[in-house]
Structure 1
Amino acid sequence: MAADNAPGSMADPCLLRRNQCLSNQIAVSPDAPPEVVKFRLSPPHKHLCHLAIAMYDSGDMTSALKHFLELAEIGYAPAQCRVATMYLEGRGPNKDLPAAARWMGKAAEEDLKFAQYIYALMHANGVGVPRDDRVAASWMRRAADAGFSDAMVALAQLYASGRGAPKDMALAAEWFGKAAERGDTFAQAELADLLWKGDGVTPDREKAIEWYRKAAEGGDVPAQRKLGLALLNDRRSDARAAEGTRWLKMAADRGDDQAKAALAAEPAQ
């Protein structure tokens, strides 16, 4: 089984790639990282913000939402984003998707890049707003330009699939590359696929192997399998073939059926 026959994994950009609670990913404290600190709060509103966070952390979602809404109404973008995700996930109130979209849009307009990313996904999915791939691509580009790695990956997927923008594999490779340089293992594996096939980039299998290795070392199982196949099929070096077998075994041990099949097809040593 040749490595160049391994399918790419152009996942649906509508889907979040990390199965985590959205609300918990949003920093709202005025003492948080620079992206949040730039949204200034007066001392009384800082106190309200800390109170809202305490209510949220204690599980009192109704009180937390009440206080976050007060902050959202005065234009505090992190609170707008938190309110949006609480409506989106049904934390405190019942789900209210139009309200979620409205508040997420307000936070996105304030250049909160996480909000821009989620707002793009909402447009791509038609969640709380009419589905609109062009609008989704536009917001995804803003979040990617701001340095949000997940948005870079999603934007690359949009270019690769031709959703919301003309299909452009060179731009897909460029954005996968930017996310890969930031350590995103999914992007590293996707970039390796493109380099291996020469899709949107000049084919370079040695560089592909380098990126497969980075993704594999980061725990990406398909990359472990693809790296294993690439090295195993390189007959120039017994050491490389042995390393390839090790990576295939690692992927197989983690449940990759294609890796298991590749190992079963190898001649007995």
Structure 2
Amino acid sequence: MGKLRVVKAGPMASIQDFGRFGFRRYGIPQSGAMDRDFMIAANRQAGNPENYPVIEFALAGMELEALEEAVISVIGAALKVNGEHVEKACKVSAGDSLKISAPGFVYGYMGMGGKLAAQEDFGSISTYERAGFGGIAGRRLKAGDMLIVDGECGEMSHVDIPQRTIVEVAEIRIMKGPEWDLLKELPSLKTFQVDATSDRMGIRLTGAKLDCDYQEIASSAVIPGTIQLPPDGQPIILMNDCQTTGGYPRIGKVMNEDLGKLAQVRPGKAIRFRLV
């Protein structure tokens, strides 16, 4: 067992696991951790199976108080316990104060040894706020929330952190989409910036524009990683909380292996596509 009380939560802190699968035909998005590799690392470091739920936080840190002994692991941000910096997973005791810094990229993850208890909907406890699914009452975390785990964790371990680097231009691998042939130019010739309005639903790209024989298409299936091209020529890359159908041309698809890397590109930073 373990219990933490949220003292201060950032504006985008939520409970996430791998997400919901097999329900898109009912209009239910996938949701789940934006950086799956970081989530797995947080679980492994805390001695958990890789698919256990974690706390995902973005652009801001968190403050928590331990109410019971617990094992804590933080990936993508710095952890201090009672003012002392902790390098890897650690055991905290009742009364300990935990401060987690803002993530070094966009998303950071906190794992708790054992299985985090939360609301389950359609086979997942991932928070999907628009429908009130998962997490704590289907919403983001707020001050006063209790984070409780059931069962015991395995052995804490130090794991290799997935490679995420801040570069001038992040290279994102893509495949051709169903409406690829509408394009008049290769997307790889352009450099785009991640817009500040990007969120868990989609990454909006600004700066460069793509020229194409634009056509509205019949509402068709989309998935995380689908690259849609609106009439203004500035692509939108759909992410974990995206809708299940859309009417913009689907010019490409980001490779699943690069979705976490893409999610960690900060607003204002640049990306370039590489066709594979």
| TM-score band w.r.t. shorter chain | under 0.3
TM-score by length of 1: 0.27
Structure having the higher Rg: 1
More helix by share: 1
TM-score by length of 2: 0.26
More strand by share: 2
